[in-house]
């Protein structure tokens, strides 16, 4: 017998941007750059923002929801492409982002009696429990929406805002800029003026493609499902039924202790000290990667770590921080799982990660023509990847009812990535989101905590 849904849908509505003025510079259509084309069929990014409030249902529907709708509409006048669709008509040589007057963003309003604090805590939670609070992108093989939203009330306790975004239109930096803009306008009680850093820059001429990566990516997608196949259907990646999501914190003190431990291992093994700076990011990802390899008990195998890199400041000439669209590339680091599981595993991982990032100085787009093929060739159970960044400042997304109690990157349940973000308390350097089976999650807790104890004792 089917279980009843944990959410009750109260309203399904469509929110449109105000009519564009004749002098508006916001484009109605945008070409996909080679950065965008890389993610053409990737599954959507889905996140949940949980806000702790004491609104009863009536107040929520009469005050909060209208305010969210109105501010969303005003925000969309700056982000018109988000109300449009990714379109690949038969006579188009490549897909485009297109807004037609009357296009809207689908917004679902729901209510739930589920455990708000259980969902918004740090302890491991069954990944499927988040699905009812997440919207989906529903379209056809020739047209898919860019954005869908869902607001869910937990009466007298709090509410969540969930989004699904098309990865071929937005990277994490642009998506976060939109969420910050929506929150900013909502908090300003209807004033649609944005701070300069939140106004999107749409100039596609900023993105130069000297290696013709657009053609390489386009040809890959056209040949993937048969020659000339123009389907926009996204990869249908499903989470394991036993997948669980959990959150772990690393403070700046933790990071510094791990750095000292890494230096100690280099000296102990008489490894040559790297000539490049080993950043907090490199230490965090190295420590998490090693803990995951140990928790999953991967033995005698080569394992890989895919690292996304923001190219905006690395391009020549650089693109501004508020550039709208994807502007990321990736580097792949590999190591022997037995070495990572050893005493100096974190030192080995940190050196490999730091070296790979340092290598980007020679040219951020060098050798990136077959990036999709490289990823596909790696066995999925040996590939680790990263979603998000502490630099996005997700916990500063305040709509006027306070900062989030929790931000959950729910889509990692499908991709298997681990997520990085700033922290709720503002004191820890990073929150790490992990997806594992129940057995693996218990092992991860043990490995993660014992590792921190070891490095703090050494420090």
Residues designated as active site: 167, 398
* Residue environment code for 318-356, b if the CB has 16+ CB neighbours within 10 A, otherwise e: ebeebbbbbbbbbbebebebebbbeebbbbbbbbbbbbb
Q: How many CA atoms lie within 13 A of 143 on its CB side?
A: 9
Interhelix angle 172-187/65-76, rounded to 10 degrees, is 120
CA distance linking residue 129 with residue 377, whole number of Å: 32
- The phi, psi pair for 34, rounded to 5°, reads -65, -30
CA distance linking residue 208 with residue 363, whole number of Å: 13
Judge contact between 198 and 177, C-beta under 8 A: yes
Q: Distance between terminal CA atoms of the chain?
A: 56
Judge contact between 153 and 111, C-beta under 8 A: yes
Judge contact between 414 and 43, C-beta under 8 A: yes
């Amino acid at each position: 017998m089917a279980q009843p849904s944990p959410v009750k849908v109260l309203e399904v509505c469509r929110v449109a941007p105000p009519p564009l003025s004749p002098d508006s510079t916001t484009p109605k259509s945008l070409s996909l750059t080679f950065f965008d084309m890389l993610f053409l069929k990737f599954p959507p990014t889905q996140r949940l923002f949980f806000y702790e409030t004491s609104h009863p249902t009536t107040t929520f529907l009469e005050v909060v929801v209208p305010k969210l709708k109105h501010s969303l509409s005003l925000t969309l006048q700056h982000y018109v492409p988000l109300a449009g669709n990714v379109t690949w008509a038969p006579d188009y040589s490549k897909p485009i982002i297109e807004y037609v007057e009357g296009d809207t963003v689908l917004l679902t309003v729901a209510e739930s009696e589920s455990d708000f604090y259980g969902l918004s805590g740090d302890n491991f939670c069954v990944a499927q429990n988040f699905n009812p609070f997440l919207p989906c992108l529903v379209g056809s093989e020739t047209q898919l929406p860019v954005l869908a939203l869902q607001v869910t009330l937990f009466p007298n306790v709090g509410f969540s805002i969930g989004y699904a975004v098309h990865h071929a239109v937005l990277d994490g930096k642009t998506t976060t800029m939109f969420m910050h803009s929506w929150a900013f306008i909502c908090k300003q009680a209807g004033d649609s003026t944005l701070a300069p850093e939140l106004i999107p820059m749409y100039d596609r001429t900023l993105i130069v493609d000297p290696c013709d990566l657009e053609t390489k990516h386009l040809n890959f997608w056209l040949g993937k499902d048969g020659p000339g196949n123009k389907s926009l259907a996204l990869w249908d990646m499903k989470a394991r039924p036993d997948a669980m999501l959990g959150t772990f914190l690393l403070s700046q003190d933790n990071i510094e202790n791990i750095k000292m431990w890494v230096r100690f291992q280099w000296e102990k093994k008489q490894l040559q000290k790297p000539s490049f700076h080993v950043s907090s990011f490199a230490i965090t990802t190295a420590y998490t990667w090693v803990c995951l390899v140990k928790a999953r008990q991967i033995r005698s195998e080569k394992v890989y770590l895919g690292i996304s890199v923001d190219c905006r400041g690395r391009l020549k000439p650089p693109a501004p921080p508020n550039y709208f669209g994807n502007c990321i590339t990736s580097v792949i680091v590999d190591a022997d799982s037995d070495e990572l599981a050893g005493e100096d595993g974190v030192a080995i991982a940190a050196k490999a990660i730091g070296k790979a990032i340092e290598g980007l100085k020679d040219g951020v787009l060098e050798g990136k023509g077959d990036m999709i093929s490289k990823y596909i060739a790696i066995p999925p159970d040996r590939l680790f990847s990263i979603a998000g960044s502490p630099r996005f400042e997700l916990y500063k997304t305040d709509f006027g009812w306070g900062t989030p109690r929790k931000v959950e990157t729910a889509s990692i349940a499908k991709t298997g990535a681990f997520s990085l973000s700033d922290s709720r308390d503002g004191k820890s350097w990073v929150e790490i989101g992990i997806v594992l089976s129940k057995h693996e999650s218990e092992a991860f807790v043990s490995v993660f905590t014992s590792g921190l104890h070891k490095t703090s004792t050494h420090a």
